[in-house]
Amino acid sequence: MVNEKLAEFVKTSKPSVAVVGLGGAGCNITTWIAEKGMAGGKIIAANTDVNHLSTMSKADKLVLLGEKLCKGHGCGGYPEMGAQATKENLTELRAELEGTNLVFLVAGLGGGTGTGAIPVVGEVTKELGCLTIACVTIPFKIEQFRREKAREAIKALAASCDATIVIDNGKLREVAGNLPLKEALAVANALIGAFVKNITETITQPSLINLDYADLRAVMERGGVSAIGIGEGDGEDRVAKAVSQALAVPLLDISDMSATYGVLIHIVGGEDLTLEEVAVTGELIMDKVPNTKRVIWGAKVDDQITGRVRVMAVLTGVKSPFMEGE
């Protein structure tokens, strides 16, 4: 009887997670997540462009934003129109997200739908009491007008989202500069997709070292603008190589890494991943951010990467020159 009660409590207390892709880029990222398979979370794709939305067959729920305003044709790169279109669907979005503990809002900023929609949906998740993490990309430096729109959207997100993880497309050249253009641009989708998938599964599914939802909330709540770095290493000193790569090229320029508010560390390795390696990963990262005690970490085994270690570090509450208009 006790076991039955415990099993039922485990079932009901497991945090519920939703991923919402907004606009073309956001929907593309949710497709990446869905194709890889994500246990423990619901995937919602929302766009004003009905043709693009109709290709999102793997999402759990499709939402055509602003059917009356945009008539399925998109919003022409105007964030104000994207925001207005999203307001048509507030009741539907609220119903889909009711009872959800953790929401990832995913979008490419600088265009119309994603840029306009994400602050509006953020307000909904805030009203519902969800821990809300926005994961966004910003345009290349040459696209100054689009970057300015992206900057305004991130400032708006500060009022509703707990943390906004920003990937600067301009920084992708440092990790994918030699790849063909299409593949290089797909790297951002894969980075955000991998982050969302890994965190969701480490919170909701048994892992080597689980992330606790309450701990995630402590690090991400009021986390502000956040940067992410990913590194991979093999052979001797593979952990040191992975950590060095993750911290050497965070995908957003940071003014002072030591001033970080909080740190989330996620480690993936094969069956040969040792406890010593997991511990060393945390120590190496903490050496770089000595002024914060808000640190959480999780680890999981993936037998497909035996011989290698992959480290993901999210630095929350960072100061970025981008937000200062540089």
Question: Higher pLDDT residue, 189 or 80?
Answer: 80
d(CA 264, CA 318): 13
- CB contact at 8 A, 249 and 173: no
> Residue 216's pLDDT band (boundaries 50, 70, 90)?
confident
The reply to whether 48 and 157 lie within a common domain is yes
β-bridge pairing 262-269 and 17-22: unpaired
The reply to whether 189 and 253 lie within a common domain is no
**Number of separate domains in the chain:** 2
Are 141 and 277 members of one domain?
no
Same domain membership, residue 254 and residue 178: no
- Mark whether 112 and 167 lie in a shared domain: yes
Q: Assign 4 a pLDDT band (cuts: 50, 70, 90).
A: low
Kindly list the distances between the CA atom of residue 174 and the CA atoms of 171, 232, 233, 248, 266, in Å, as whole numbers in the listed order.
6, 15, 17, 10, 22
Question: At residue 162, does pLDDT exceed 80?
Answer: yes
Same structural domain, 197 and 161: yes
How confident is the model at residue 202, as a pLDDT?
84
Q: Which domain holds residue 157?
A: 15-204
CA-CA distance, 119 to 127, in Å (whole number)? Answer: 12
Q: Would residue 8 count as lying in a domain?
A: no
278: domain CATH number is 3.30.1330.20
- Looking at the chain, list the stretches that DSSP marks H as alpha helix, in order from N- to C-terminal side: 2-13, 23-36, 50-53, 67-70, 79-87, 90-97, 113-127, 144-157, 172-176, 181-204, 213-220, 238-248, 275-288
Query: In the structure, what pLDDT confidence band is assigned to residue 154 with cuts at 50, 70 and 90?
Result: very high
Give the side-chain half-sphere CA count within 13 A for 19.
Answer: 34
Per-residue pLDDT for 269 more than 70? yes
Report the C-alpha gap between 109 and 178 in whole angstroms: 24
Would 209 be classed as within a structural domain? no
Residue 6 has pLDDT above 90, yes or no: no
CA distance 190 to 143: 22
What mean pLDDT do residues 45-53 have?
A: 97
CA–CA gap between residue 310 and residue 246 (Å, rounded):
9
Q: Is 92 in the same domain as 46? A: yes
247 SS3 class = helix
pLDDT at 257: 86
- In angstroms, rounded to a whole number, what is the distance separating the alpha carbons of residues 113 and 279? 42
The pTM of this model reads 0.90
Mention every residue, 6+ apart, whose C-beta is less than 8 A from residue 289.
257, 258, 260, 263, 315
Alpha-carbon gap, residue 211 to 188, rounded angstroms:
24
Same domain, 23 and 130: yes
